[in-house]
Structure 1
């Protein structure tokens, strides 16, 4: 074993975040952030598993001394297995010799093979030996620098140094957020702003024993927010996380993210949720979708090629309320989520573009059926510029299998935020106001309205928030007589001042 990273004093989250972000300098100016994020995040994962393995090895060695067979037996109980040749330290030791890319790829493959139950296919979409990093010499040089960056004392990720496991998971989330804010539109595919995922998790009020699903899970942050709420309340991981992600590299991010956060009770599938849903009921035939207590998602906005061609013959009957438009997949995801809510406890929260609230034709008919079935619970309008890669405002829809009444609560939260240079942010007070209003389920002047089914029907099932929440503030009436009196007073004051000025000029000898 290697002593490259020796134990140090405890470290703060900010220290690790800063050190990992600085490691990205190796790529800046050479490789696009949308590409190099996968390399940096994967290297963080490799360094973490190597440091934890080393930490535990040293602990067992101190405990059992010269009994390598006993130490080896103890290490079999670890959450993962790390082949000696696949450790970060082995790669770092050979960094000055040609073939860094090939060696790292082989190491990742060996780790996957040794941990197939948890890491099967996770590294298949990432290749450090890719020509994306330049020719052989440039690639070898870049990867040498990357190995040296992660070997710095600041990135000693041993448990004996960093303490809580989430310190590493949080660094991973920090990196994903920063890549999202610098990568433009592409970033929205794998990351939901933290305050929005916090809002959705708190709206869902996850309870111990809940099965929680995100059918478009991205990097998994929204799922983990729900799980974290349960842990904060109970101190236990009594829940199960499920997800599906269509993009291979993003699915791999989610798997590594779950692992780094200690979320072992998860099932994240790779595939297109609409065309090929993978989360099926194991106890029934393959034509039955698995049902969940909570379903949350930030699906791609108005996806053009969502799978319209096969939707009419969908074997899961998800589109029996109507076929979404060929070039807008928003309701395809909504209908999938509705179909996967548990009959008793099922509830869901989904981020949608505002068009979902008012577009007509097929979408209008689907919307009408969801309302007539009394599934729609709350419509929340969010501020603009919250999401990476788009400035448009979005809304959150909350649907429930069992509602307290037959009404729909509309909340206009679009004016409550802190303005940022590129992104706006929901503050804790803004989140709490939404949550309190949703819980109270009462009208609030210029902020919330509780609409009856008849009222919504009168509006032709159009859910555009300004139809229900009047945010117009009347300007105070102008008292013209008072203005005239003030004008007369000012004219008199001006005449007095001019007379006084004339007197001063006269005294000074000016006529």
Structure 2
């Protein structure tokens, strides 16, 4: 029997004992104490400790022998499980490992520590795998030279100034060295890990190695040390990283963190169709999940895609998460800037190194919705290019939605996909004036109403606006409205949420690409009609789902009516008999 075939409670017992003793000997009393502690932390009750050890022995994972000091007692030793050590694990096994990590930290430690550890262990293992490959290719070459080559291919994990290797396994057992190594890695990789030190500081990692939390950190280090992450392809490592973000998104949404559901990012990719050597920009990139979905879409179409991803994020810690996300996905053509894109778009000069006019081929974004008391005409004029960017007008401090849309439009050379609050489609005042200009300039290609309850931080449905500066003739002066409010499935993990399925995404994307009308789902509308509606872009105004009419079987309904009438008549007769009998007894009837 292997570890993976054990019942869950014995599986967890083995891992708890392995974490504590490794393959060192231990007594029954020591095992009992460890399992008791594990019962509390894992939520699994190991009521019969002897049964646990017996099951592990049967599985070939434990050996016992007489205790030299007292022959009546036994000494135990774990066997390192060959499946755990050598088998190439799949994505499901990796996710299960991360779930264990999530259970370990619970609410005691910032979830970003999981992201940090995943990154550090994965790049360390990839680095050592590359060194081993180089040794096979270049036998006899000095190991330091091989380290230097691996530095150029993975990350700088060999400190040439101090002749020191900074990988995970070199420092995992020394808290001070662990932190020093991470900080030195930041210094050696400033171009790729601009603010990793800020993430280390914000998670409180240095202090976590002390006091009560040191036990949690040690357990996490042991957990990640069990697996060789070099066995995983970058796409799987990236999926694992995204899984952590996704797993904690519902709880973090309550604290103000925003995470775009991955299926919404995937839908955007299916709508704007990134490809070839295009430059894709996200001026509010968050952890870069939406940008990465554009990369994955392009890669699926062409394995050799040379797409370039550029993002800007106001929160510096979130920007670091984006940088790590790119690395774990194996994406080299990616850059993240830190700052407020509406006031200071730092990415423009970088884009000019690819495209002299400073425009990205396509722009995607899920900017903050309906921001109040943040931007107004005065603040937006701080942007050096405000006259060009906000050519259709400045928004008030009641909502920045159309400030974001104008920024995105300005930097999009071809197309843009924007997720925004549905109120942006119909609010009046300055927003209406800006919206009118977008319609008159024929910039809006499609407006999609999404289902409600698919975002973690709001139950509002949200919309997607597709801008297109290269409309083909048949699309000119027309807007495709898609009402996808019914296109969802219940969320498999969050009961109060919905989710876009692959079929939902396919249906929406096909309707957009084929520019077709489907009754109750999509409709092509001339801009003249939109003008008559005072530039109201509310999707429900143009297309509403067809209410499913209940099919009525008249024969069946008549049969039910007759049955009800029969039951009524029978009961009426019984009640009448009772009343007559009561009245007869008391003299009311003869």
TM-score, L = length of structure 2: 0.74
Match of 1:171 in 2: 240
1:19-98 → structure 2 map (5 Å cutoff):
19-31=97-109, 36-62=110-136, 64-65=139-140, 67-83=142-158, 84=164, 86-94=166-174
* Match runs of 1:148-297 below 5 Å: 148-152=222-226, 155-158=227-230, 161-162=231-232, 164-186=233-255, 188-189=257-258, 191-281=259-349, 290-297=358-365
Greater shift, 69-78 or 309-318, is seen at: 69-78
Residue range with higher mean Cα deviation, 173-182 or 55-64: 55-64
Give the C-alpha shift of residue 322 in structure 1: 1.2
- Give the whole-Å Cα distance in 2 for the aligned partners of 1:38 and 1:492: 67
Residues 86, 106 of structure 1: 8 Å contact kept: no
Q: CA shift at 1:400, angstroms? A: 0.8
Tell me the secondary structure at the aligned position of residue 126 of structure 1: helix
Q: CA 1:67/1:477 → structure 2, altered by over 3 Å: closer, same or farther?
A: closer
Structure 1 residue 381 and structure 2 residue 449: aligned?
Answer: yes
Residue 399 (structure 1) aligned with residue 470 (structure 2): no
Give the aligned CA root-mean-square deviation in angstroms.
3.3
Greater alpha carbon shift after TM alignment, 362-371 vs 66-75: 66-75
Cα 1:140/1:445, change in 2 over 3 Å: same
2:525 paired residue number? 451
Cα distance, 1:132–1:465 mapped onto 2, change above 3 Å: farther
Once the 2 structures are TM-superposed, how far is the Cα of residue 22 of structure 1 from its aligned partner? 0.9
Change in 2 beyond 3 A, CA 1:188/1:377: farther
Q: What are the ranges of 5 or more consecutive residues in structure 1 without an aligned counterpart?
A: 95-99, 502-511
- Secondary structure at the aligned position of 2:118 is classed as helix
- C-alpha contact 2:483 2:544 (8 A) present in aligned 1: no
1:358 maps to which residue?
426
- In the alignment, the residues of structure 2 paired with residue 487 and residue 73 of structure 1 have an alpha-carbon distance, to the nearest angstrom, of 84
- The C-alpha deviation readout for 1:42-99, integer Å capped at 9, x for no partner, is 11111111111222233334552574354345434422121345321122232xxxxx
* Corresponding residue number in structure 2 for 1:507: none
Q: CA separation of 1:132/1:371 partners in 2, compared to 1, >3 Å: closer, same or farther? A: farther
2:87 — aligned with what? 9
Give the superposition deviation at 1:8. Answer: 1.9
Contact 1:181 1:187 in 2 (8 A): no
What's the CA shift string for 1:140-162, capped at 9, x where partnerless? Answer: 3332222222112xx3212xx22
Aligned CA distance change for structure 1 residues 357 and 27 (closer, same or farther; 3 Å): same
Query: In the superposition, relative to structure 1, how do residues 289 and 303 fare at CA in structure 2: closer, same or farther (>3 Å)?
Result: farther
The CA distance in 2 between the partners of 1:135 and 1:81, in whole Å, is 25
Change (3 A) 1:497 1:449: same
Q: Which secondary structure state, in structure 2, belongs to the residue aligned with residue 276 of structure 1?
A: coil
Match of 1:415 in 2: 486
Larger Rg: 2
Give 2:5's aligned residue.
Answer: none
Gaps of 5+ in 2: 1-79, 159-163, 575-590
